Amino acid sequence: MKIFTINLLIFTLLLLSCQSSPEERYLKLEAQELATNTRQDSLFKGVYLGMKEAEFYDFCLTKNIHKDFFQGGQKDGSWICTKMKDSTNKSVEINFFPEFKQGKIFAVNTAFYDGNLLDNNKGSLGLKNTLLRLEKWYGKAFIKIESPYFFKNDVYVSVHGNRRIIVSKEPQNNFVDVRFVDLLALKQ
């Protein structure tokens, strides 16, 4: 019986050591997705990764004239704000602003918020709703990566072709941060 217990313990330890961490799963997923050579540039409301800077500002002006994009929002008053409806017809407000590299959008920082973002569990309902919403919109599941720091929250990551989406929730805020990144532009 003693030998069986020792063998079982050794087998269990070997099995646990063979399992990959979320970080390793993410890196493997990123390599697999980039190897497909698939471009996924579409973000929301006509904004896309690789959009030229001048085109973006002209596009935003047109959207503003049509009362679809506005300046301001809860995250940052200088960002752009828009509203979208999900499949359940619930409205979500998106506050966003892109980052440019070589005159093209390579990343877009966004804050998602609506009336359901705060609950008794420090915003976890809003995080869950945002993750479900993004999975429906972009068709890919998210990998949870636990923060190694007690003062930082976990992040959720999804990769589809060249588009990486990172989702996080800070407990002191009433919004969920979402960052879209073009991995190909990032690696240039």
CB burial of residue 137 (10 Å; 0-12, 13-18, 19+): middle
**Lookup result for tokens 């805020």:** 173
Write down the pLDDT at residue 11: 40
User: 3-state DSSP call for residue 34?
Assistant: helix
Helices (H), the chain: 2-18, 22-35, 53-65, 124-138, 183-186
Write down the pLDDT at residue 119: 42
Write down the pLDDT at residue 21: 79
Q: How many CB atoms lie within 10 A of CB 23?
A: 13
pLDDT tens for the chain, 188 residues: list them: 555 334 434 443 333 445 577 778 888 988 999 999 999 999 999 999 999 999 999 999 999 999 999 887 777 777 898 988 766 677 788 999 999 999 999 999 999 886 544 443 444 458 888 898 899 889 888 999 887 776 678 899 999 999 999 999 877 777 899 999 999 998 77
